[in-house]
């Protein structure tokens, strides 16, 4: 790799890093919430080193119905309502659950497992239940609080407050900074998963095809953006590489994960590469 190419890559990555830190990171920490929800005290706040993030979603279903689905959380129950194929790829094994709310309780002392077979898990994690308000909220040690608020008899607000970890060392600060985005991607999908399942009702098994298509579009767009960075020679190409990098971050982190958005971005990047190079 030539020095010029190395410096161009550092410049582009540096600009994207600054934009992520200043504009995108604050938004993913409060995805879906109002200022009031971010500021309001929630059960379990006193158990955390600090608050890492507060995220929320509105669900068109009664609070009792949403509660039935939220307490299915865990590898031994209904899974994590997120990207199950990614979880399996990382060695996390989930129970083959039916599309019904089979388990009807959430009790203090229960452990929400990350996998039913930890021997193959990339990172082992379990979340003990440390507080419960039946039908209303629960707190998982090592994760945070899951709180339901009734909007109307047919609408519910689900708020998840992620607890911050001890970040007194530089290594933990770096791990927290980059880990936030990864946790957000899975937690956002979990919130959306609860929403679509509660609104669909029991007995409806949802297809994972939209998730596959979205991830594929994001992956191909990332490859295309990386290619633009590597091939960038002129000032115009460098500027366009930065612009498409920002668009990729926006599609990946801000826009709801829909295949039409990631596919359109990939086609746009492909057209730009064909035009520029």
pLDDT, mean over the chain:
92
| Domain definitions of the chain by residue range | 3-26+211-276, 31-206
Of 187-196, 200-209, 257-266, which gets the smallest average pLDDT? 200-209
pLDDT band of residue 168 (cuts 50, 70, 90) is low
99 pLDDT exceeds 80? yes
pLDDT band of residue 217 (cuts 50, 70, 90) is very high
Cα–Cα distance for residue pair 197/193, rounded to 1 Å: 6
pLDDT score for 135 = 96
Alpha carbon 156 to its chain's center = 20
pLDDT score for 214 = 96
CATH superfamily, domain 31-206, is: START domain (3.30.530.20)
**DSSP assignment string, the chain:** --HHHHHHHHHHHHHHHHHIIIIIHHHHHTTT--HHHHHS--TTGGGSSEEEEEEEEEESS-HHHHHHHHTT-BTTTTB-SS-HHHHHHTT-------SS-------TT-EEES-S-GGG-SS--EEEEEEEETTTEEEETTTEEEEEEEEETTEEEEEEEEEEP---SHHHHHHHHHHHHHHHHHHHHHHHHHHHHHHH-TT-PPPSHHHHHHHHHHHHHHHHHHHHHHH--SHHHHHHHHHHHHHHHIIIIIS---HHHHHHHHHHHHHHHHHH-
230 pLDDT exceeds 80? yes
pLDDT score for 113 = 95
pLDDT score for 233 = 81
pLDDT in tens, 23-76: 999 999 999 999 999 999 999 999 888 889 999 999 999 999 999 999 999 999
185 pLDDT exceeds 70? yes
248 pLDDT exceeds 80? yes
177 pLDDT exceeds 80? no
Residue 122 CB partners (closer than 8 Å, separation 6+): 90, 91, 92
Cα–Cα distance for residue pair 237/231, rounded to 1 Å: 8
Greater model confidence, 233 or 138: 138
275 pLDDT exceeds 90? no
pLDDT in tens, 104-159: 999 999 999 999 988 888 888 899 999 999 999 999 999 999 999 999 999 999 99
167 pLDDT exceeds 70? no
Alpha carbon 37 to its chain's center = 19
Alpha carbon 20 to its chain's center = 16
């Amino acid at each position: 790799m030539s020095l010029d190419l190395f410096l161009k890559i550092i410049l582009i990555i540096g600009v994207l890093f600054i934009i992520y830190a200043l504009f995108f990171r604050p938004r993913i920490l409060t995805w879906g919430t109002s200022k009031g929800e971010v500021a309001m005290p929630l059960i379990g706040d006193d158990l955390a080193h600090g608050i890492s993030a507060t995220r929320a979603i509105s669900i068109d279903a009664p609070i009792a119905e949403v509660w039935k689905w939220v307490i299915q959380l865990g590898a031994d129950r209904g899974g994590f309502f997120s990207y199950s194929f990614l979880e399996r790829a990382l060695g996390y094994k989930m129970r083959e659950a039916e599309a019904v709310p089979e388990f009807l309780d959430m009790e203090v002392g229960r452990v929400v497992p990350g996998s039913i077979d930890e021997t193959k898990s990339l990172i082992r994690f379990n979340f003990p239940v440390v507080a419960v308000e039946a039908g209303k909220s629960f707190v998982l040690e090592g994760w945070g609080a899951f709180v339901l608020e009734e909007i109307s008899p047919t609408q519910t607000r689900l708020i998840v407050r992620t607890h911050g970890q001890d970040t007194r060392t530089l290594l933990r600060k770096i791990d927290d900074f980059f880990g936030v985005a990864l946790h957000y991607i899975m937690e956002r999908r979990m919130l959306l998963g609860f929403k679509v399942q509660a609104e669909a009702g029991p007995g409806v098994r949802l297809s994972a095809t939209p998730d596959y298509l979205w991830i594929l579009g994001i992956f191909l767009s990332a490859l295309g953006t990386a290619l633009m960075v590597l091939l960038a020679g002129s000032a115009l190409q460098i500027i366009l590489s930065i612009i498409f990098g920002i668009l990729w971050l926006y599609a990946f982190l801000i826009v709801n994960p829909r295949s039409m958005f990631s596919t359109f971005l990939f086609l746009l990047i492909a057209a730009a590469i064909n035009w520029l190079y």
